[in-house]
Amino acid sequence: MHTLRTSRPRWQDLRPSRWVASSVWLALALGFAAHADFFVAPKGNDTHPGTRTKPFATLERARDAVRSLQQNGKLPPRGLTVWLRGGDFVRTNALELTAADSGTAAAPITWQAYGDERARWIGGRTLTGFAPVTDPAVLNRFDPAVRAHVQVLDLRAQGITEFGEMKSRGFSRASTPAHCELFFGGRPMTLARWPNEGAWEKIAGFPETAGKGDDHGGKIGDLPGGFLYTGERPRRWQDTTDLWVHGYWAWDWANSYERVAELDRDRHFLRTARRTVSTASVRANAFSFSTSWRNWINLGNGFSIVRKAASISGRPASPPPAPRAKRCSPCWPNRSSV
């Protein structure tokens, strides 16, 4: 037989065993509340205590708070978690964690996103304020078909003064820090190049005096000795201060980026800077393209940086995705090119 009690039980109805159980649960609850987790949020403040309602702003502040607990012997016995709230954490350097920042198997120190929020470490800056190019001298350097689509932005006004450097890379080269990159609509934009992305130029040949056997019945030249090209497009390149070429110079499995040391438009001759590693060979009909870090050799859906003016120019893909904001990823000292 079952009875239904509709009235509130009297205080003395609670048995001692229930008091013990309630005390255990209360102790566990207090234990969770005392757990010294830290919280970090993009809109936090490093003067805050690092709680869920008053989070830190930077990863370094959270790291230092954990270090302080360790140094003072106050690290919780079962470890702690640094919770990253959703949003973009803009980074200009790597987060340095050493052995001193480690926990133990029994008391781990964990860094993770909070709940199902998406926390991102971003090395770039969101750029806004792009405007159409209006300077006639600049516009005349572009093809008429693209002039209305090219936009420019003053990087100094955005607080960006370090743009990185293009460096020789590729086959047989060590990894080097990447130059500044531009992303639009979540996609990386191509550095200004000729011909446009997806197309290649073929090397016309090399000086006869530079030829040698390739051990397969053919002839190859030395890349630093220069090569010949066809067409008149390079005559339109007014400034070749930072001109680079990329190619599969002799073999289809070996490619590299090389800085141009000499461009003779009348002879249709191009010579690259001497390499610090083994000298590459060059073969007629090999595939290559030219790219410029600082100048507009061709802006078909690409971008270029003019260092003297500290400006960045680009032609976004059409139709442009929304929102119309671009992200510039600066060169980090520890960031390597892929």
How far is residue 272's CA from residue 14's CA, in Å, rounded to a whole number? 90
- Summarised one tens digit per residue, pLDDT across range 126-139 is 888 888 888 888 88
How far is residue 124's CA from residue 318's CA, in Å, rounded to a whole number? 23
pLDDT at 148 over 80: yes
In this structure, the number of other CB atoms found within 10 A of the CB of residue 133 comes to 19
In terms of DSSP H, where are the helices of the chain?
A: 16-34, 59-71, 136-139
- Summarised one tens digit per residue, pLDDT across range 58-109 is 999 999 999 999 999 999 999 999 999 999 998 888 899 999 899 999 999 9
Q: What is the mean pLDDT of residues 201-230?
A: 82
Measured in whole angstroms, the distance separating CA 267 from the mean position of its chain's CA atoms is 39
- DSSP class of residue 296? -
pTM of the model: 0.62
For the chain, the structural domain boundaries read 17-122, 125-192+299-329, 201-292
- Summarised one tens digit per residue, pLDDT across range 15-55 is 334 333 333 333 333 333 345 799 999 999 999 999 999 99
Joined tokens for residue 54? 């008053």
235 class by beta-carbon count within 10 Å (0-12 exposed, 13-18 middle, 19+ buried): exposed
Q: Nearest to residue 76, comparing CAs of 122, 30, 23? A: 30
- DSSP class of residue 91? -
The partner residues of 87 in beta bridges, in order of sequence, read 119
Enumerate residues 6+ apart whose C-beta is below 8 A from 11: none
